[in-house]
Amino acid sequence: MKFWREWFTPWRALMLLSLCVNVVLFTYVSVQWLRPGGFRAGAGVPLRMIERVAERLPAEDAEILWSIYRGKEAELAPLQAEYRLALMKAMKTAAQTNLDKAELDAAVKDARDKRVKIGDIVVSTFVEMLERISAKGRRQLVGGYFR
């Protein structure tokens, strides 16, 4: 029992907990993406994010957001397809009987890099929207955070 007390430090417990949470999240995301119909066109996170923001804006400002997004959809679609393929590669690597850590790290980093590219386009969409919408729309979007 003495070995267990020496080995099991708070830092190691935290690392183990972190690992468990990551495995659970990875499994959840994998199951969501592998469901039938999980790869429908336009079902990606950017579209849902645009929908949520547009709901909080006045109609005129929401239309500005949608027009900006529609202008960037052609740029986003291939990036989302590349991200999905990279994510599938990471999941297939993780499912291998003999896990190759280096291959898994490379696959996860590749998927992350592709996801960052999508995020950059979404951020530029929001920045452009904020430059063009009304002051009322910006205040409504921020809500009561700065009151």
Indicate the burial class of 35 (C-beta count within 10 angstroms; 0-12, 13-18, 19 or more).
Answer: exposed
Residue of 10, 15, 34, 7 whose CA lies nearest to 95: 34
Of the listed ranges 3-12, 76-85, 113-122, the least confidently predicted one is 3-12
Confidence (pTM): 0.63
pLDDT, tens digit (0-9, with 9 covering 90-100), for 28-80:
777 766 665 554 444 457 888 888 889 889 999 999 999 999 999 999 999 99
Q: Which CATH fold topology does 39-142 show?
A: Four Helix Bundle (Hemerythrin (Met), subunit A) (1.20.120)
Considering the chain, what is the average pLDDT of its residues?
Answer: 83
How many Å apart are CA 69 and CA 51, to the nearest integer?
Answer: 10
Locate all alpha helices (DSSP H) within 1-147, ordered by sequence. Answer: 2-7, 10-34, 45-55, 59-95, 101-132, 135-142
Using the predicted structure, report yes or no on whether residue 110 has a pLDDT greater than 90: yes
Per-domain residue ranges of the chain: 1-35, 39-142
